[in-house]
Chain A
Amino acid sequence: DAGVIQSPRHEVTEMGQEVTLRCKPISGHDYLFWYRQTMMRGLELLIYFNNNVPIDDSGMPEDRFSAKMPNASFSTLKIQPSEPRDSAVYFCASSRDRGATEAFFGQGTRLTVV
């Protein structure tokens, strides 16, 4: 398997624009996680899915953020409208189960909102 694939790797956008980050998890993994990494807050869990169903979105910072998983091989994280404070590295990860096995991470999307 190619691992968790995220796109784009880098995104620069203007404040107010919509941003969509994409993730393809490892085939057969039932759990998908979206994390955000910043210097101030470290690695924060935003939302996770089990079998394509959102289970816990309590980490989503505000209503501007939304995430979907229309099928087992694709997830999106959308920010609309984007703000400069959303600038961060966003990671997608997948695992076979809720935590007994390790999560595999994508290479991340570095988002810069100017």
Chain B
Amino acid sequence: AQKVTQAQTEISVVEKEDVTLDCVYETRDTTYYLFWYKQPPSGELVFLIRRNSFDEQNEISGRYSWNFQKSTSSFNFTITASQVVDSAVYFCARSYIPTFGRGTSLIVHP
């Protein structure tokens, strides 16, 4: 099976620290898509970002940024100046049928 690996099970930081969530994927497809989702304590899964395999430009959206490196099959997610509201489980996924990693639980302490 083509896996998505999130090696970090849980990360604990103090508010205002920067934190990077790692994601490594396997795929045999030449064209594919990668996603990050957030699952807050309320339980719903919220889509954050989608990247296609042709576009390796890093992306920044407010405090969030994503680093996609095809050479290492990685799609890492950085939160700058973390806040308590960022506490959630974050999932990396790849296409084509959405396949998810095990998730990284981020705990941000005040």
Contact = CB atoms under 8 A, between A and B. Distances in A.
Contacts of A48: 97
Contact of B98 (A56, A93, A106, A107): A93
Interface centre among A48, A105, A107, A110 (most CB of B within 10 A): A105
B100 A43 contact: yes
Contacts of A98: 95-97
B46 to A, nearest CB: 8
At the interface, is chain A mostly helix, strand, loop or mixed? strand
B45 interface: yes
A91 B39 CA distance: 12
Given A102-B47, A107-B43, A108-B44, A43 B91 contact: yes
18 contacts: A33-B98, A35-B100, A43-B91, A43-B100, A45-B97, A45-B98, A45-B99, A93-B45, A93-B98, A95-B98, A99-B33, A99-B97, A99-B98, A102-B47, A102-B50, A104-B47, A108-B43, A108-B44
